[in-house]
Every structure is written in structure tokens, then in C-alpha cells.
A = this chain, B = another copy of it.
Amino acid sequence: MLRIAALEKLVHQLNRLPGIGPKTAQRLAYQILREPELSTGLQEALVAVRETVHLCERCFSYTDEPTACRYCADTSRKDDVICVVEEPSDIVRVESSGAFRGRYHVLHGAISPLDGVGPDDLKIRELLSRIEESQGSAPITEVILALDPDLEGDTTVLYLAKILTERGLKATRIASGVPLGSDIDYVDDRTLGRALENRVEL
């Protein structure tokens, strides 16, 4: 690397991005040096995102609307069912399935004692007060947990299921099993085990 302080700093910052190693960061930095327009474009985009994008007050997804995001503001959606996801990007995945027309709630992570993430670090308190507030007008009756089928997701599901059923709500979790169009030969043991366990009566 050319020993130029500002250039080294840029490489360091690019290197902090997920999946960008030191070598890639160097290549990107040189390209940014070659194309000043790339640098200003990127800078403007970073500023615009910081200035306009914030969390939705209700579901905690990202939005550039002043208060409620487009999913919370959409009056054609059902109010009695809420889909809980780990990250805002998960909403896009659920939406593109076309199988859900209710409201969303983003936890911003999952319980992970190893990483020091407890229930209080997630938007769980906000979920519960949202459910409580709904009881008067348009009560939430079902909470669908669309969390990742991994250790952290499982822990969070167990935790939430207990709290939610205690409050008399129906708590469900999206099914795990053999992906559509796949070959049973190539599905891993745990997924196939789960698919057998959760078999559906015909």
C-alpha cells in the first residue's frame, strides 16, 4: 500500500465492512481514487441515509416516512396478526412470499447469551406494549414468529412463546422442513428430522 495516511484510513474503513478483506479494501480505495465521482456519490448516499432513514416508531423497521412505515400505514392490512422478524430485511423476504398481509415487528436481533444479547437488548418490550395497546381497539390475536431456525432463533422463539401464551395470545412459528423443489437426498439430517416431526396430516 502507498504510505499515505488518508488512503490507509479509507482502506481501514472499507475493511470494516462485512465481507470486505484488506486486499479488496485496497482495490476499492484505488478505484475510489481513480474515480472522484464515485467518492462524492458514495459520500452523498451515506449522508442521505443518515439524514432520512430512521426506525419506524411502531414496527422498528427502517423508513423515511416521518412516523409510520409503509407497512404500518397501509390500511388494507389486517391488524389482528403480527409477524415478528429479526431484521428489517426479513420483512422484504416475507412480503415477497405474498403469503402474509398483516403487520410486522422487528426485534433487531435474537437472544444470544454468547454474544451478550439478552431480551432487553431486543424490541421485545416494545412488542408487548404494542400488543397491550391494541387490546382496546383492534386487538392482536396471533403472533407469527418468523425467526431464523438457528440456536439464537430457537431460544428467542421459546422465550417469546412463553410470554405470549401467558397473555392468552396465539403464538405460531413458521414451519421448518424440506425446501420446495429440493431433493430429499441432499437435505441435511436435522432439517429432515424436523420435517418428519412436523409432518402435516393429509
Contacts and interface: CB of A to CB of B under 8 A. Distances in A.
Given A13-B41, A62-B2, A64-B5, A18 B31 contact: yes
Q: What is the predominant secondary structure among interface residues of chain A facing chain B?
A: helix
Contact of A13 (B12, B28, B45, B64): B45
Contacts of A33: 49, 53, 62, 88
Nearest to A14: B42
A188 to B, nearest CB: 23
Given A7-B62, A10-B49, 6 more contacts: A9-B49, A16-B38, A29-B49, A30-B88, A42-B46, A46-B46
Interface in A35-82: 36, 38-53, 61-64, 70
Interface stretch (A19-27, A123-131, A176-184): A19-27
20 contacts: A2-B62, A2-B91, A2-B92, A6-B48, A6-B49, A6-B52, A6-B64, A7-B64, A13-B38, A13-B42, A13-B44, A17-B38, A17-B42, A18-B27, A30-B88, A32-B49, A33-B49, A33-B62, A39-B46, A40-B50
Give the interface size bracket for A toward B: 35 or more
